[in-house]
Structure 1
Amino acid sequence: MYRLKRKFWRIILALGILFAVGGLVNQPDNGKAALSQGIQQLASWGNQSQRSSQPTTLPPTKQQAEAVLTSGIRSQLGSSVSWNGHGAFIINNNQPRLNANINSAPYAVNYKDRQGRAWRGDAWLNRTTRQYRNRSETGNGATNWRPAGFLQAYNLKNGYRHAYDRGHLLGYALVGGIRNFNASESNPANIATQTAWANEARSPESTGQNYYEGLVRQALDQGKQIRYRVTDLYDGDNVVPSGAHIEALSKDGSLKFNVFVPNCQRNININYATGAVTQR
């Protein structure tokens, strides 16, 4: 939706500039100055409109994020867990527990836990595994299928307008080029209920899963080979994961991270046992 709005305002801005040119280019006195001033004003309006249309992507507060770090979740992460200041936690001093000394063809596999929940995605990636086409072009578009706990809430205030996305373990753009891997949004082994923030946030100031996937995408585009693993962590019998434990290590060692992205959002409270959402 944000991308559509951005395109809309770009079109409006372009049309406005065309009208300005048509009206001012034939003016004999101060035509060039007026044209320049008009274009600058239109650009300013366009930038303001784009900024106002962007969703609020503030990360969860430290207190809110730490609320998911129950004893059950901490036992799965280990003793070294530190807040990064931007929504996520650094695990094991950012050192992944992965082996990237691999000589094999690329692969991507999913695992469910004993309760049948989407649990882990493990992959060996290179440039050929990347997918640049959109989902509709490859037959992996949206469906009506919903993962457990996907009790959607809309028209939220003070941030993202909706609560949940169909959150992937292994992202479409990273593994969509692997033949026979189900990268659709209805793969129950690869999709779990994830907040809009945890799934979409992608800036250094708001480090959701998309931010870390972006680091992997860039490295793959540079020709790197990367071992990549995402593990959804559940507290007890909850149907909604508490967060995603994400690790990456390139074969040459130039890319490596070990992080936990909490499955929360600044403007909502979540009942992880059921998926029910209330506005904060």
Structure 2
Amino acid sequence: MKQQFKRFLTAILLATLMLTGCASETSTKSEPKTNEVAKEKKTENKNKEENKKTQTAQQKTPNKETPAPVTTTPTTSFSLASIPAYSGKPYVAVNDNKPFFPNNLSNKPFESYSNLDQLGRCGVATACITKALMPTTKRGSIATVKPSGWQTVRYEVVGKGSSGYLYNRCHLIGYQLTGENANVKNLITGTRYLNIEGMLPFENMVTDYIKETNQPVYYRVTPIFDGNNLVASGVLMEAKSLADNGASILFNVFCYNVQPGVNINYVNGTSSVANTSNASSKQQAQTTKQAKSTPQPKQNTPVTASYIGNKNTRKFHRGDCRMVARMSQSNKVTFNNRDSAVSQGYNPCKICNP
């Protein structure tokens, strides 16, 4: 019995030792797993904190590879307030007669016209004019176009042309330059005085230059409206000859949309005859000023002075006119005097005024 009892105790002890060993082994093996999970969680939390810091830094600092869009503002501007009141001259120089053009102008022929605004008014018209853009046929009818503020009426004070009608359908860029006919984006309500006395001399000057030199001219005309007026107060005309950087053609002028002897309501285009006495005095003053400003032939110029005509353009020039140097030799013809040139159908140059 004693031996059996000893064996029983021995068996119990062995079983106890085995169970203790297993528990110890299990505990030993599970500790690394617990530590590893804890380390992973710690690393994950650290990564999250770093990501948050990175995102915050990126929000504060713009990405250098995708810079924000840059907006540009015009470097030049025109203000109607800077233009003096009309005083008898059809136009006045602006910005020392230098156009508000940017640098590096394109010399390729093009023409561009602004869409009409909400009031039906024209906007800026721009072109690089070359011989290729000029018309080869006569202008067609433009009677179907009625620009903003079109309320034309006949007045005796308007004088000759258009049967005394106050308004013309004025091309911003003249037909002789680009051949635009009844283009509603290129026609404004303008007085005959604006059309003939103000704009036409500059249009003729550019036309003559291009025909005689076959060189491009950058050209822009902007109708200037005061507030919501339907009739423009005038037009800003700018031009520059590109081949010689403006040596031949360079101007920036504001042409007044007025008619001597007529009061114009620029809001809607209605009009009325001005006070007779005031109109007469203004017209007389205007005539005097124009006579003084018109170049007169020099008194000491000999009658036999030679003039150079251009067979292609049918214009004649003084011998020292810069247009003569640019003229093809085959197109030149010499006249002994001015009357001879006129009698043969040649018109005086608008640059040298022979």
TM bracket, shorter-chain basis = 0.5 to 0.7
1:150 aligned partner: 150
State the TM-score, normalized to the length of structure 1: 0.62
CA contact (8 A) 2:158 2:259 kept: no
CA deviation digits over 1:1-56, x for unaligned, max 9?
Answer: xxxxxxxxxxxxxxxxxxxxxxxxxxxxxxxxxxxxxxxxxxxxxxxxxxxxxxxx
Q: Flag structure 1 segments of 5+ consecutive residues without an equivalent.
A: 1-73, 177-182, 202-207
Matches of 1:264 and 1:79, distance apart in 2: 17
Matches of 2:219 and 2:107, distance apart in 1: 14
**Bigger proportion of residues as helix:** 2
Q: Which AA in structure 1 matches 2:94?
A: I
SS of residue in 2 equivalent to 1:89: strand
1:39 aligned partner: none
1:92 aligned partner: 95
Cα displacement (A) at 1:152: 1.0
Matches of 2:251 and 2:82, distance apart in 1: 16
Cα displacement (A) at 1:188: 2.1
RCO comparison, higher one (Cα < 8 Å, 6+): 1
Cα displacement (A) at 1:129: 1.5
2:128 aligned partner: 124
**Change beyond 3 A, Cα 1:97–1:257:** same
Q: Which AA in structure 2 matches 1:217?
A: T
Cα displacement (A) at 1:155: 3.9
2:257 aligned partner: 263
CA contact (8 A) 1:78 1:92 kept: no
Cα displacement (A) at 1:126: 1.2
**Change beyond 3 A, Cα 1:211–1:228:** same
Matches of 1:229 and 1:156, distance apart in 2: 33
CA contact (8 A) 1:271 1:277 kept: yes
Cα displacement (A) at 1:101: 3.8
2:228 aligned partner: 237
Q: Higher Cα Rg: structure 1 or 2? A: 2
1:197 aligns to 2:187 (yes or no): no
Counterparts in 2 of 1:75-224, with a 5 A limit?
Answer: 76-77=79-80, 79=82, 86-99=89-102, 101-103=104-106, 105-112=108-115, 114-115=117-118, 116-135=120-139, 140-157=140-157, 159-160=159-160, 161-176=164-179, 183-185=180-182, 187-201=183-197, 208-222=198-212, 223-224=214-215
Cα displacement (A) at 1:104: 5.1
Q: Flag structure 2 segments of 5+ consecutive residues without an equivalent.
A: 1-76, 275-354
User: What's the Cα RMSD here?
Assistant: 2.5
**Change beyond 3 A, Cα 1:216–1:100:** farther
Matches of 2:255 and 2:207, distance apart in 1: 18
- Mean alpha-carbon deviation: is it higher for 243-252 or for 75-84? 75-84
1:13 aligned partner: none
**Change beyond 3 A, Cα 1:75–1:113:** farther
Q: Which AA in structure 2 matches 1:237?
A: N
Matches of 2:165 and 2:221, distance apart in 1: 24
Matches of 1:132 and 1:210, distance apart in 2: 19
State the TM-score, normalized to the length of structure 2: 0.49
Matches of 1:114 and 1:144, distance apart in 2: 19
Cα displacement (A) at 1:77: 4.9
